[in-house]
Amino acid sequence: MAVTEDLKTNTLLTNLALDYLVRPATESSGEQKALILLHGVGSNEQDLISLAQFMPGNFTVISPRGPFALGEGRYAWYQVDFSTGKPSINAAQEAQSREIIKDFVAQVKAIYSIDEVYLGGFSQGAIMSYTIGLTAPDLVSGVLAFSGRILEEIKPSVETADKLKNLSVFIAHGTQDATLPVHYAREAKTFLESKGITPTYHEVTMGHQITGEVIVDVREWLKKAN
């Protein structure tokens, strides 16, 4: 299928493994890349597509909808239970989403004729981005993690340092985050370093959110990445 220039960011596309919104690249010069942004639990594909306007023009920006419906306009990559004070995931749903996202990334590469894909997300979307990057690094060039964590459950499946050596990682986390406290970002940084990855790491005075400061940092990182 040819990608036409008149696709708008408010048009939900249903031709791939996940329904999604797309902001086509606004610049034809330079190497064409893609940024896939995964929303957090209880949100939808509209949440992060607004970031597209701030991203480098040679990036096609794509925001898919999570496969599990929680309610009207609310979706997730897996259900999570906070009743014990710590997040407990639905492992079967997480594994299913992992495979769907991998298929989706491969489809994006094929349909948009793009080799270099960056996968990022907020909260649960960041968690899934870490998971794909660390277990299937051949699929993505980099991971952007906004207010996320690395699941303990996936650590046995993380690839070797040799296979992870070309993976770029950007981390931004709020020091005042009450949903996923900043220690999760610090633990992720330590784990990545143990695998030979030196992430670009930002602790920001903010809560569970993405601020303008973070958006500027991401834009500059993407301009320089790889």
Q: DSSP for 107-119?
A: HHHHHTT-SEEEE
**Unique residue bearing structure tokens 């980099």:** 142
Could you give the angle at the alpha carbon of 101 between the alpha carbons of 142 and 66, nearest 5°? 115
The mean pLDDT value of the chain amounts to 94
Check residue 6 and give its pLDDT.
38
- The list of the chain residues with pLDDT below 50 reads 1-7
Check residue 222 and give its pLDDT.
97
Instruction: State the fold for domain 20-224.
Output: Rossmann fold (3.40.50)
Domain residue limits, the chain: 20-224
Check: pTM over 0.75? Answer yes or no: yes
What would the pLDDT profile of 72-84 be if each residue is shown by its tens digit?
999 999 998 878 8
Task: Give residue 6's region: left, alpha or beta (phi > 0; psi -120 to 50).
Answer: alpha
Check residue 84 and give its pLDDT.
83
For residue 192, the SS3 value is: helix
Check residue 226 and give its pLDDT.
57
Residue 41's contacts (CB-CB under 8 Å, 6 or more residues apart) are 66, 70, 76, 77, 79, 80, 123, 124
Check residue 9 and give its pLDDT.
65
Residue 27 near residue 58 (C-beta atoms within 8 A): yes
Q: How far apart are CA 51 and CA 35, in angstroms?
A: 11
- Nearest partner of 76 among 88, 64, 68, 87, judged by Cα: 68
